[in-house]
Structure 1
């Protein structure tokens, strides 16, 4: 900073001329990379990005100081060290390692960014493009769709540091801040999808490096019966008139899209560019649901089952699947979702299975096979039954309070001609007999007063607020009429109760679906919910909680749908399969003059030098989302696309369609959390490495294939031969900038 040189410039001279003059004055080696800064009067500095600007454009004043900075041998700029973690950089000053084998520090949930950067960094022709400074000539500062060249420059800085061979790991803080500045969704430190970030980065680099400075109007022409070759060539030329960059050269290919109207048969053919292939994974049409079957036989414990059911099936399909295991007719089953000792939902047989989540506790109850009247028989009514315990040591004015739900609820079939409270008591006592002990003769009470008192308790549900004491039989008649929605007792049945046992273990109460005693919510057209209320001492003495919660596992437990590995070629075949458009994505047919559910087919016409294949592991529907853990078998080398590319090739102009793998981005975890890592092959050594944020380790080809593979990078063999060498043999290496200045210099502009 102590050496000053003066030079004179016209207002129309460019920043590039100022830079070349400074390089001449300070005898800078041609291989060294330099950049300019303006020193403002307030002591701040402004980077001169656009070397095509004039002295007048950047408002240089007479005698203003311009500083020229040279890049250090480790790929960093001296000015960056003032703002970065100096200790980390100093630790690497004497380090010499394999160029490109460099980790990236996780700044806080930025593994998605690190993985994407490591994949791109190991694309040979893209990295050579930046290492050899070709990007400096193609920075587009005036593109309204770009980011003023800042993303490309920030990415170039990362590449130069990673491939200098002087860092074990680097901190991508400046790059992260640039990304957040131009894409607010990546501000902060939330987790993001790698594919989403990769799409943004490729588009940003493309626009920052777009060689097209002035985009001319391009008229899109219909195929009009012309040959595919002619239409495809026209589409590609039109694409290049607007988009011409190293990203297009490296990653862009061409689709053929065919739409067919189902009514008039009109065929529309277009050719569209693509930057990556998002291929679907074969999705199983079945899912595994875990359920508990509760038999009507009180001696049998609930039985746990795992059932394979159609993802788009109905509740009836679930009953059919269970029926095949246990031999009970689907018509004798009711399905319920149990949550916190109550029925969260009781399903109808025609409801969709998509409403059931994997974490739900699903109980399937066996009920009576008499859903309707038959000759001489009344239909059965299915009653939802809850278990409640009165909380001790509480003096409640309202007897509806102080009760707590426990255990598993029941669905109990009761014949309509037995709908008396004492009959219901005996039916429920029978259903609970596996884990409820009946009192023996020594436990029975002998006093008539006690007998009368407990008899009154069992009828408590029938009493209405404000009623005066009535005869129990009359009270029961009123209660029954109200509880069952005004239904009348069948002819010949007795409205009066049978004499209950002397020792009542519990009392019965009508409740609402939440298990409280607010009966106002009960529909007159549906049977009520019944609560079995226990006194703490009675429950402790006669109710076996361990046995009540016990269950058995069916032989099917442990069975999981066998997900055999799928080949990558199968995924590509699915990508090119004819599909019908969805309702929300209709196609407007120019012949019919209306939107249609057209069929669509995508074909590969032209493939790029580097092919990015995104495996669509995340599946989203209206009711659910899931990550597909399918193992995809993809070749490390010799991936042949000749069967998928439909572009005709002449013998005189052969095109290679064989690709070799160069990088894999992995995702571990689920939908809401996870971690990204990278396998990548070094362009110089040909060796594979595993990148896990700042950690880098050697890797074997056998490690590549796993259920975590998410995005694959393939290099076309004719292109790869220029960069990749067999392991163990020396390969072509990029020449990093040679020589550096130990300090920044300045130019005094007159």
Structure 2
């Protein structure tokens, strides 16, 4: 997408209304060429004596062949004869120097435009011998001084009609998250690739559980930056669920009714979380943030087809969490669990006359103290006899310690005996073996249905998203952390760091090319975003986005050419809309 701040017209030979034949999936090329063919200063240049600026010895160029082919094509488009032009020679040159555009497959118009502008620049570069210049960090110097130094170094190596009218400069600021080292550089740009706001944010659903039994599970949907970290997610979720000042959130991922990992590293990127994952968050007292917790895992007796109908303990539902006091006994474990289960109690009408208490006399007394560092063989020897003996009782539930790595090993908890945590152990894992009578006393359906992080609704047409071009610019200059694959080497730490990066516009070119990033790619999917962008046609004011306030060039642009894509990722068609100020040579 192109913008033009100039109001003059070119020295036209014809009307500029000549069309280009589609040679077979060449619409991507034709639309980009038509936009450039109506850029007035570029037309004036190629209708003039541009041959004298051809640089055939530039090793980065195409020996002037691309410039000659484009100049010849542009002259045909502005000839008096309005017969459509078949751009075969130009297409052949493209395929020769850029094999990705050879053949007749569909391609991205922006990729073609980027290659063409860069190729024309090198073919027409007025600098015959490029001097070496070393980029220096700002080191606290004024931005104006550093920017002029970078721009001067750039112009010493790059001087062409493309640089004259199409290149600008932006400011890049990196900040180390550890030592706070600030690095400022100024880089040239040929076009701005603006993200759509919908591509920078991500909708995520997380189910929040209380650890004190005051409320049942509740799913919350929040919007967070795609490039954000766990800290960003927790902050958004804390606001959504009205987290109190004396509370904190412990976020975890649940798979197959077990917690498989905790998201307790604040700087961990959330891009690793898939849409199909299931996340939970537990509200815990903030003053016990570093205290140990108990994780309750639900189990019930079920028949197994693989065991020919023999019953065994199977995990179900979502684990529940509670913080542990300094002194822990079997009764402590029991009371904590009954407390967190309060929201799931069935109404009296749904509960039969069953014993709601857990009698200590019904529990075996062959285990007097429990240590989670017990030998694995001891755990194995206890499990079978303990479970088989208790499976026929009428107790509502029974509690067993389990090893996090060997969850099938159970060690029964005695109510009046202490439960010890060895060393730096921070999590106590308890299997709650439910009896039939206990299952009748609670409504556990909500524990079996965790929503996915994001669930796409098939065959439903959502209202079209809309945004302004200014919102796209805001998304472009917004500070965000670098991705894990794009770490920055911090000169202060002497280590690669996931620094925060912010871009600002510094110098604006006369012709500003804007690329809207509608094609979205991820590890699993690729699609086209249909967001409608509200684009000012006559007065695009970028004055608030420019950092170099003393720049003489105006900051207001008018729209004169658009390369449009219709269709989806699987197929589509490119067209161009261009503004022609003079319709006839006469």
Q: How does 1:480-519 map onto structure 2 within 5 Å?
A: 480-482=370-372, 502-504=393-395, 508-513=399-404, 516-517=407-408
**TM superposition shift of 1:235:** 7.9
Q: 2:297 aligns with which of 385, 390, 398?
A: 385
Quote the Cα distance in structure 2 between the aligned partners of 1:270 and 1:539: 66
Q: Deviations over 1:173-219 (max 9, x none)?
A: x867755654577789999876555333211122234466x548699
Kept in 2: contact 1:293–1:363 (CA 8 A) = yes
Q: How does 1:243-642 map onto structure 2 within 5 Å?
A: 245-248=160-163, 250-252=165-167, 275-276=190-191, 289-296=204-211, 300-307=215-222, 315=231, 318=234, 322=238, 325-326=241-242, 328=244, 330-331=246-247, 333-348=249-264, 351-352=266-267, 354-355=269-270, 357=273, 359=275, 360-367=277-284, 371=288, 381-387=293-299, 390-395=302-307, 405-413=315-323, 416-419=327-330, 423=334, 427=338, 430=341, 433-434=344-345, 440=352, 472-474=364-366, 476-478=367-369, 480-482=370-372, 502-504=393-395, 508-513=399-404, 516-517=407-408, 525-532=425-432, 546-549=445-448, 565=468, 567=470, 584=489, 603-604=506-507, 607-608=509-510, 610-613=511-514, 634-639=535-540
Quote the Cα distance in structure 1 between the aligned partners of 2:543 and 2:224: 38
**Does 2:561 match 1:663?**
yes
Over aligned residues, Cα RMSD in angstroms?
Answer: 6.7
SS at match of 1:637: coil
Quote the Cα distance in structure 1 between the aligned partners of 2:313 and 2:23: 58
Kept in 1: contact 2:250–2:281 (CA 8 A) = yes
Kept in 2: contact 1:301–1:550 (CA 8 A) = no
Q: Deviations over 1:565-596 (max 9, x none)?
A: 46489769969xxxxxx964769xxxxxxxxx
**TM superposition shift of 1:385:** 1.9
Inter-CA distance 658–443: structure 2 relative to 1 (3 Å threshold): closer
Inter-CA distance 288–134: structure 2 relative to 1 (3 Å threshold): same
**TM superposition shift of 1:517:** 2.0
Quote the Cα distance in structure 1 between the aligned partners of 2:75 and 2:301: 71
Aligned position for 1:199: 114
Q: Deviations over 1:329-367 (max 9, x none)?
A: 55364332223432132244x724744747353322244
Larger Rg over CA atoms: 1
Count of aligned pairs between the two proteins: 485
Q: Deviations over 1:526-582 (max 9, x none)?
A: 4442334569x9999888664544699xxxxxxxxx99746489769969xxxxxx9
Quote the Cα distance in structure 2 between the aligned partners of 1:680 and 1:526: 63
SS at match of 1:343: strand
Kept in 1: contact 2:202–2:223 (CA 8 A) = yes
Aligned position for 1:682: 578
Inter-CA distance 549–664: structure 2 relative to 1 (3 Å threshold): farther
Quote the Cα distance in structure 2 between the aligned partners of 1:572 and 1:372: 35
**TM superposition shift of 1:126:** 3.6
**TM superposition shift of 1:382:** 2.2
Quote the Cα distance in structure 2 between the aligned partners of 1:247 and 1:380: 64
Kept in 2: contact 1:258–1:270 (CA 8 A) = yes
Kept in 2: contact 1:289–1:358 (CA 8 A) = no
Quote the Cα distance in structure 2 between the aligned partners of 1:281 and 1:180: 31
SS at match of 1:477: coil
Quote the Cα distance in structure 2 between the aligned partners of 1:504 and 1:218: 83
Quote the Cα distance in structure 2 between the aligned partners of 1:321 and 1:272: 37
Quote the Cα distance in structure 1 between the aligned partners of 2:196 and 2:230: 25
- In the alignment, structure 1 segments of 5+ residues that lack a partner are 1-96, 223-227, 260-268, 374-378, 445-450, 460-471, 486-498, 553-561, 576-581, 588-596, 621-625, 650-654, 687-723, 734-750
**TM superposition shift of 1:473:** 0.8
Aligned position for 2:386: none
**TM superposition shift of 1:145:** 1.7
Kept in 1: contact 2:213–2:341 (CA 8 A) = yes
TM-score (norm 1): 0.46
Inter-CA distance 585–429: structure 2 relative to 1 (3 Å threshold): closer
**TM superposition shift of 1:440:** 4.1
Inter-CA distance 273–538: structure 2 relative to 1 (3 Å threshold): closer
